[in-house]
């Protein structure tokens, strides 16, 4: 994999065996959720989405939530099951994070090749915020609603991440743009540009997708953005090693940027 680093915000590292721990998922005897439980919440259809459904997972070993890692898949796909992934759970346990997996789908619109729900400012972003508030109320922990967000996504999921950052930069601690193609915002605010970010393209992806990500990086980096651009050699429109790189970025943020 060829990596272009403009400034060192990301360091790829192997994930050691002792990092791959697991956490138990279980309800309390009363049926109420507790740490380690999964909860689901769904928004009513909104202006730019038909479905906005979310699943929360909290680590058993943490009563404090330092941040929320939001996992958003590609176009109209269901990412709620990603909160059950042992690797993401291990990350959450180690860094006192909540996991939120999302499923968002488009309402019919004029050009269905472009995911309207990626425009976070038009309603889908608010659906995520409402989900976090609902989860916080249910588990009795306001950290879930207030903690900074780490945004991981693939394709349309990365597009949503970028647009959420554009809309609510003060809520985001770090983000990944990952091989998407359609972005509704260009040069972001100064507040958004200081949020550490990773923009990933595959060298075998379609030229227009690669160009879109390169343009985002160039215009914002010229204005001082704390972002890195990664070109994955031989990778097309697929996740590739994006999770490895995102995890390295998020570990760095967890250890250096967020409050203790």
81-123 residue pLDDT tens: 999 999 999 999 999 999 999 999 998 877 766 888 999 999 9
- pLDDT value at position 62? 55
pLDDT in tens, 135-175: 999 999 999 999 999 999 999 999 999 999 999 999 999 99
Asked if residue 15 has pLDDT above 60, the reply is no
- pLDDT value at position 60? 72
Whether 149 contacts 165, CB under 8 Å: no
Q: Which fold has domain 33-256?
A: Rossmann fold (3.40.50)
Candidates 231, 80, 242, 241; CA nearest to 153 is 242
Distance separating the N- and C-terminal Cα atoms of the chain: 34
Residue 30 is classified by DSSP as: T
| 207 Cβ contact list (under 8 Å, min separation 6) | none
pTM value?
Answer: 0.84
Asked if residue 211 has pLDDT above 60, the reply is yes
User: 228 — phi, psi (to 5°)?
Assistant: -120, 145
Candidates 46, 45, 93; CA nearest to 69 is 93
Only one residue has tokens 């227009």, namely: 208
């Amino acid at each position: 994999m060829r990596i272009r680093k403009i400034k060192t915000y990301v360091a790829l590292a192997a994930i050691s065996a002792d990092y791959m721990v697991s956490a138990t998922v279980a309800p309390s005897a009363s049926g109420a959720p507790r740490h380690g439980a999964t909860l689901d919440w769904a928004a009513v259809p909104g202006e730019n989405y038909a479905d906005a459904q979310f699943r929360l997972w909290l680590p058993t070993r943490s009563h404090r939530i330092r941040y929320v890692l939001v996992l958003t898949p590609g176009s109209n796909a269901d990412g709620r099951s990603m909160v059950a992934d042992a690797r993401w759970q291990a990350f959450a346990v180690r860094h006192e994070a909540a996991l939120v997996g999302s499923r968002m789908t488009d309402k019919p619109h004029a050009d269905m090749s472009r995911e309207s729900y990626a425009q976070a400012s038009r309603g889908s972003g608010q659906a995520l915020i409402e989900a976090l508030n609902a989860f916080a109320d249910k588990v009795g922990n306001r950290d879930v609603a207030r903690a900074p967000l780490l945004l991981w996504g693939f394709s349309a999921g990365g597009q949503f991440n970028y647009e959420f950052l554009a809309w609510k930069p003060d809520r985001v601690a770090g983000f990944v743009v990952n091989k998407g193609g359609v972005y509704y915002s260009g040069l972001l605010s100064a507040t958004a540009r200081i949020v550490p970010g990773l923009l990933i393209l595959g060298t075998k992806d379609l030229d227009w997708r690669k160009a879109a990500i390169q343009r985002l990086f160039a215009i914002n980096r010229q204005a001082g953005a704390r972002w890195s651009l990664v070109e994955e050699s031989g990778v097309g429109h697929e996740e590739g090693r994006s999770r490895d790189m995102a995890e390295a970025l998020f570990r760095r943020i967890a250890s250096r940027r967020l409050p203790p």
